Amino acid sequence: MLSDDSSNVEVMLGNPKKALLKMSIPLIISLLISSFYNLIDAAWVSGLGADALAGVGFFTPLFMILVGFGNGLGAGASFAISKYIGEDDKIKADNASIHSIVLDIVISIILTMILLIFLNPILNVMGAGQTIRYAIDYGEILILGSIFIILSNALYGIFRGEGDSKRPMYAMIASAVLNIILDPIFIYSLNMGVKGAAIATLISAMFVILILFYWFYIKKDTYLNPNWSYFNFKKDISADIVKVGIPASIQLLNNAFFAAVFSALLVYVGSTDSVAVYSTGWRIVIITTTPLLAIGTALISVIAANYGAKNYKNIQIAHRYAMKVSLIFAIVVMVLTNVFAGQIASVFASSGSSVRIAGELTSFISWIVIYYPTMAVGVPSTYVFQGIGKGITAMFQTIMRETGFTIFLAVLLGVVLNYGVWGAWMGIVLGEIISNNLTGIWANWQIKKLIDIND
């Protein structure tokens, strides 16, 4: 069954530690690049003023929905494809890759219609106020092009399903470079403002799709062959993709819900400036925790392949190794981010009206990093459940963390105990610490249960 393009598959099944590192390193680079150009977006938009930055921040939760569905469906594709590879069923894996593309297109069309209809009411409920014009200008363009955002992210999952994270890295780097070049041109040279930032993002996403399709349909040197002639609709394949992909999308949708609720909370205890601080600071959180998310993402394919092959001991090995490597990254990043918080904040608050948020942004960056080491336990543990097809459990864990502990503690500290904006920040920190440790305990129990059943 194994072809010349199957070395990644062999490593996933034979050496889970090596497979994890082999997939994680390109993923870390590609996600860092992606996060970096999101920060570049924020830096360029900040030149338009704090209101423009806040307006983009108000749309951020909705943008997270688009990216979330792309990443979620990509996770579903990774699980299904890796599982079939582990079961030694290449034909089914090829068919699953086509199923994934079809599902991506259908869901993106549905999301586009829903978000266009409810964009204005949602932004008003969030409290966008004087910044709503910027939010709508930025958001409408991205929603209309949502198919490119969702499909580009989901296609990465097909490559990861066969254990290949290098080519998605190359595509993402090319996209990032293009976005960085286009941002100042569209925002300032063409005088399009926040609309220009949105257009640059869409063009970059389209470019990614063209690159990935080139490898699939022109160069044809991938392990998987997602040719349309192989498409044969199967309920069980769709079910495998959906049972991980939809819950994974919903858990990212929950992240968007959290961001919307949290933004409204910040307006209540602070001001729209606090939203600008949060949306900008959270971009920094995303980029600094990228190594942990990359390791967790790589873990899905490694675990799914071994789950399909019933190598449950390898699942335990991969999970423990992922936590150890993640902890090293978490501690280093936590210290560096805290030490250089002021310098990082100055990049986004050094000119115009944005200067007024510099102090609050520095404070946010300094405090938020406290929970990073616990992510080394929580992130790999959540992805364990996606890797064994328990997408609903992984979704529940995310909802427990964000909507449960974090929002509750943010309201308790920020409103009830009257600690204001700082109390809201601490709600995030404490909620993450509690839920990450609970998720780690849960994952260890689940893996031991698999091993015991197999024995």
List the domain boundaries for the chain: 14-454
pLDDT at 4: 40
* Selection from 107, 394, 65, 385 nearest residue 248 by Cα: 394
376: which residues sit within 8 A by CB, 6+ positions away? 292, 323, 326, 327, 329, 330
Burial class of 213 by CB neighbour count within 10 A (0 to 12, 13 to 18, 19+) = middle
The pLDDT value given to residue 43: 76
Average pLDDT of span 8-23: 79
Where does the pLDDT of residue 2 fall: very low under 50, low under 70, confident under 90, or very high at 90 and above? Answer: very low
At residue 34, the pLDDT reads: 67
455 vs 362, residue with greater confidence:
362
Contact 186, 199 (CB under 8 A): yes
Kindly tell me if the per-residue pLDDT of 165 is higher than 60.
yes
Q: What's the Cα-to-Cα distance from 6 to each of 76, 116, 161, 170, 322, rounded to whole Å?
A: 21, 43, 12, 19, 23
Residues of the chain above pLDDT 90, percent: 38
Least confident of 4-8, 209-213, 290-294: 4-8
Mean confidence (pLDDT) of the chain: 86
At 311, is the secondary structure helix, strand, or coil?
coil
- Residue range 421-443: average pLDDT? 93
3-state SS track over 401-441 = HHHHHHHHHHHHHHHHCCCHHHHHHHHHHHHHHHHHHHHHH
Radius of gyration of the chain (CA): 21
Has residue 353 got a pLDDT over 70?
Answer: no
pLDDT digits (tens, 9 = 90+) for 186-207: 999 999 999 999 999 899 989 9
pLDDT by residue (tens digit) across 373-390?
999 999 999 999 999 999
Q: What confidence tier does 435 reach under pLDDT thresholds 50, 70, 90? A: very high
Cα gap 297→222, rounded to integer Å: 20
- How does residue 277 score in pLDDT terms, banded at 50, 70 and 90? confident
pLDDT in tens, 143-153: 999 999 888 87
pLDDT at 330 over 60: yes
At residue 351, φ and ψ (nearest 5 deg) are -145, 155
Mean pLDDT computed over 316-329: 95
Burial class from Cβ neighbours inside 10 Å (0-12, 13-18, 19+) for residue 129 reads middle
pLDDT at residue number 115: 92
Total H helices, total E strands in the chain? 18, 0
Confidence of residue 1 (pLDDT cuts 50, 70, 90): very low
pTM of the model: 0.77
Res 3 pLDDT > 50:
no
